Chains A and B, each alone.
Chain A
Amino acid sequence: MTGTVLIAGAGLAGSRTAETLRSLGYGGRIVVAGDEPHPPYERPALSKELLGATRDDVWLRPAGFWPEHGIEMLLDTAVTQVDRAERTALVGGEQTNWDALVLATGVRARRMSGPPGVHHLRTLDDALTLRNDLDESSNVVVVGAGFIGGEVASTLSGTVGSVTVIEPQSAPLERVLGPEIGGMLAARHRAHGIDLRLNTGVEEFIGGARVEQVRLTNGETIDADVVVVGIGSVGDAITVDECGRTTTPGVYACGDTASWWRPSLGRNVRTEHWTSAAGQARAVASAIVGAPSPYDEPGFFWSDQFGLRLQHLGHADKWHAVVIEGDEEAFTARYVDREGHLLAALAGNSSAVLGSLRRELAA
């Protein structure tokens, strides 16, 4: 097959689509355009090993991989003025014809404005800037006890002066994992020396040339040299079918931005997980080469924090009961509906149960 596949976005979803096209034998031109200055990298490592300075090599592939596979990897390059009828776009200002367009542009961090010293963590540059801003005496305030906030707090605990975490819910990850697991995570934060402030939010950041304090909605103020805001993401959702196809022939989407049709659930789901991005990229590449291979796997993500490897399978906005087995050092939590059917599961330091849970969810 010949022609041009234009991929907007050079994260895991975009770059994996390009690789898979080649491994499926696509012989045409492949152009990947990413708006960051770096080649594709492992985003999950940013809040873990990269921030902890235990790993700097976060590249998905060695630098030579892309040219060796005939993939034009354009960095610092935006795709604009997409014309779906004429199948053209401006790629870094250059008029480009495409036969297939893949939208893998991801999402952005939800931001709070503040003086210098207030950081967000989404990109490699964000992570490097944050790391350079820290020293062993920094008083760090983390806004949001979600997965990013929890990992940042865990990575920094014991390596900086102090870490305070601010969370509007009554427990970390309460909405995602429930109050039972949330309460256990709160205890783990505190056991690792984190000053965890629950049921309160940020009123304002105080400081001029540099952040100095954070005022909370409960009226308290906390000294801060560095603030890390981890309050979720924003971005457009692009609706696609189970192969990543939009309603426009030749236009596909995958990764964080794709609202993906899940036949087994009977609805569209948008997920921001490594595994979905990789699986969806494969499905999109398969559809482009004319051998559609739907992706309909249970969602999966993991988080390393406070000595726990948390691994979550499935998708549950609400549940009837949480059945927890084990103790706080190694456990399984099953989120079930009224009939006892498994909707989602969380394993804490219990990796070996994941295979059977995954098969139970797929059944």
Chain B
Amino acid sequence: MSSYRVTIDPSLCSGFGSCVDLAPALFRLAAGGLATAVTAETSDPAAVEAAAACPMSAILVSEVQAEKAA
């Protein structure tokens, strides 16, 4: 199963809120009106959807390679 690292560029975020609509478990709008990621890493593919829908391209989602036990 893929795992994704989710970051938001605060200089781009506009608090549009489409990420919260598409992935309410992963994003919320903070008191200042801008989006924050609830968790830094997730296996929920809704993260990818939210990044694609962000009108400001403020959400960066990168796939995390599974770490092997030493």
Chain A interface (Cβ < 8 Å from any Cβ of B) = 16, 19-20, 23, 42, 274-275, 278-279, 282, 300, 302, 311, 347, 351-356, 358-359
Contacts and interface: CB of A to CB of B under 8 A. Distances in A.
Contacts of A354: 14-17, 33
Contact of A352 (B15, B45, B49, B56): B15
Given A354-B15, A359-B17, A19 B52 contact: yes
B55 A302 contact: yes
B34 interface: yes
Interface of B: 13-17, 29, 32-34, 45, 48-49, 52-53, 55-57
Contacts of B56: 302
Q: Is the interface of B mostly helix, strand, loop or mixed?
A: loop
Nearest to A359: B17
B19 to A, nearest CB: 10
Contact of B55 (A19, A275, A352, A356): A275
Q: What 8 A-B pairs are tightest by C-beta distance, nearest first?
A: A352-B33, A355-B15, A351-B14, A275-B55, A355-B17, A354-B14, A352-B15, A354-B15
B52 A16 contact: yes
B55 A274 contact: yes
Nearest to B13: A351
A300 B55 contact: yes
- Which of A19, A23, A352 is the most central at the interface, judged by chain B CB atoms within 10 Å of its CB? A352
Contacts of B14: 302, 311, 347, 351-352, 354-355
A323 B12 CA distance: 26
